Amino acid sequence: MLNYGAQNVCLQSWAQSCLNQNTKLTKKESDINSDRTAEMAVFEIQSAIEATEKNSLLYEEKSFDYRIEIIDFLGFHLIDQIDDLLRKTAESGPLILLKYRVEKVKSELEKIDSNLFQRLQANIRIGGYAAKEFKELINEYVHFNPDNTEHQEEAGYDNLDIFINGLFPLQIMPEPTKDLEPDMVYYQKTPARIVFELVKQAHFRKEDVFFDLGSGLGQVAVLVNLLAGITAKGVEFEPAFCEYASDCAAKLNLSNVTFINADARKTDYSEGTVFFMYTPFRGEILQEVLEVLRKESLRRKIKIITYGPCTAQVALQSWLDFSALKNGSIYKLGVFTSRRLAHIRNDVIKK
């Protein structure tokens, strides 16, 4: 066990010795300045790590948001700063001890999160969260208000995504095994706040069956199931992604979440009522899939929800009504419903 009091004294004398050496050897002014800068940096790192160690709020399980910021600060700021100092000095011993101390605090904080996620995963497995409780759980840990749409149009991920990632029992993304065809879009996850917005705008009924077309690692289908309590399915072209998603759903004991390894052009959608696309494909493929969905819409009313650039192409479909905001942003969800009656008439006309 390290004695941090002793380490502080050791570091201070290291910094002081830099100063003493300067005086004795009458170093160049630029060298003295750089030693003083190093000395100040060490004192700052020491103060920061001491403040972190003493901050009991950080060690409370609920302080997830705050902990994320500090873990980032320790990893990307303090450790980088120490590495930088290490490159510039021959006297590395005290700095190595300081780095060890920062790493230790960082891993203690990370451990709080990994224990938290193991417990939450175990709760999901036993069906501990109905839709309402799941939303409450998120609110408890992440300062996220699903009713605040202010940041919805921003691209990128946030603390909500970090929290949702933690709920997934498999952390390492599999390598794709197949080449995508032209017009197929590579894997990129829908930001979690957009999935919350999707659930809000979809107005799911309990009998709805949700399909994520191009479901990647399965996060959207899993989240929709947890947030809305409905059956959710994913269709994914890449077998390794599909297997990963199925494993996650199985490990979380979510029997109403399933994944199909198939091309979205050749999938049976006979059960589906709400379809989501985070621009999984473009051009001809998108057109073909929309045609498959149009045929489904002749049997029952369906909803299509889109995110990203595919929204513009879906908006051109005359058999769909655009029911969400029309400001054209690709970072807003497009919500479309089929005009069932209009289509039956078209069919009659065609015959």
Question: Which spans of this chain sit near ligand SAM (rule: CB under 6 A)?
Answer: 180, 184-185, 187-190, 212, 214-216, 219-220, 235-238, 241, 263-265, 278-281, 285
As measured in angstroms, the least distance from the Cβ of 3 to ligand SAM is 48
As measured in angstroms, the least distance from the Cβ of 348 to ligand SAM is 31
The beta-strand segments (E) located in the chain are 209-213, 231-236, 257-261, 274-278, 303-307, 320-322, 334-338
- Of the pair 104, 265, the CB lying nearest ligand SAM is at 265
Closest C-alpha among 220, 276, 267 to residue 248: 220
Beta carbons of 330 and 309 less than 8 angstroms apart: yes
- Of the pair 102, 235, the CB lying nearest ligand SAM is at 235
32 alpha carbon, distance to own chain's centre: 46
Edge-first strand listing for the sheet containing 303-307:
257-261, 231-236, 209-213, 274-278, 303-307, 334-338, 320-322
Q: How far apart are CA 136 and CA 98, in angstroms?
A: 40
As measured in angstroms, the least distance from the Cβ of 264 to ligand SAM is 4
Closest C-alpha among 294, 347, 300 to residue 318: 294
Residue with tokens 């800068």: 37
As measured in angstroms, the least distance from the Cβ of 296 to ligand SAM is 16
Q: What residue number has its CB nearest to ligand SAM? A: 214
Q: How far apart are CA 242 and CA 238, in angstroms?
A: 6
Joined tokens for residue 315: 């908006």
- Of the pair 106, 189, the CB lying nearest ligand SAM is at 189
- Of the pair 166, 214, the CB lying nearest ligand SAM is at 214
DSSP 137: H
As measured in angstroms, the least distance from the Cβ of 291 to ligand SAM is 13
- Of the pair 68, 292, the CB lying nearest ligand SAM is at 292
As measured in angstroms, the least distance from the Cβ of 346 to ligand SAM is 26
- Of the pair 75, 239, the CB lying nearest ligand SAM is at 239
- Of the pair 34, 152, the CB lying nearest ligand SAM is at 152
As measured in angstroms, the least distance from the Cβ of 44 to ligand SAM is 40
Q: Spell out the residues 6+ positions from residue 263 whose beta carbon is closer than 8 angstroms to its own.
A: 237
